[in-house]
Structure 1
Amino acid sequence: MDKKLLIVDDQNGIRILLMEVFSSEGYTTYQAANGKLALEIVRSESPDLVLLDMKIPGMDGLEILKHIKAVNQDIKVIMMTAYGELDMIKEATELGALMHFTKPFDIDEMRLAVNMQLKGGAMI
């Protein structure tokens, strides 16, 4: 069964990079530049994992995370942040985020983390 991955970031370059990386890993990937679109995809496609940027204009990552968990508690979420927002990271963890990556992140570490979450720890 194909695993579905949603990338939520207002930076187009990051979305494209992550789409390429995770498409090549065999995942069905979706992208959203804002919270409204992200939540539409969550409702219609029910992704297995969401890579979620903390700072998104309009609706911040924590708000989006709350909505994702309200729609489906089982969707896994990994936060991405460009800042050292420790209080927000702590709150994101309390809301159910599994982990976070600080930008600029190591793409191989990100790929390992996603594969661990979606392939149950199988390292390829």
Structure 2
Amino acid sequence: MHRSYGSVRHHAEHHQRSWRAHREIMWDGQLPIEDFWVIPKGSLRQDDAYKFIGFAAAPRAKAELTRYIPYSPGTTDAIAFVDPAVPPHLPTAPAHKVNAMVPNYAFWAEKGDEPGQRFTAWLAK
């Protein structure tokens, strides 16, 4: 997403793209997101799914992923296995979290679609 405000250019993208392109990242106002593993109800390979999640959620596997993309490993136990050169490039580096916008999941669960509908109505004016 690109936006221009006079002489200031704003760009939002997943930080891995900037990292791969060797662009400097300005972390001010980052919006951290989380991913979750789920097993669909009625899955025919439920045992395999549990095994995979066990593997993927293990600290060493999470740390290994940081060698390829600069995503935070998601568990503090994994940091011990991360290459020491990597943490300064992660979104969870202390300096990067100073002005992070933390999502308020309780608000969105309570309000549902109402804020989006209000925003869409405002845009239509």
Q: TM-score, normalised by structure 1?
A: 0.29
* Bigger radius of gyration: 2
**Of Structure 1 and Structure 2, which has the larger fraction of its residues in strand?**
1
Q: TM-score, normalised by structure 2?
A: 0.29
Higher relative contact order (CA 8 A, sep 6+): 2
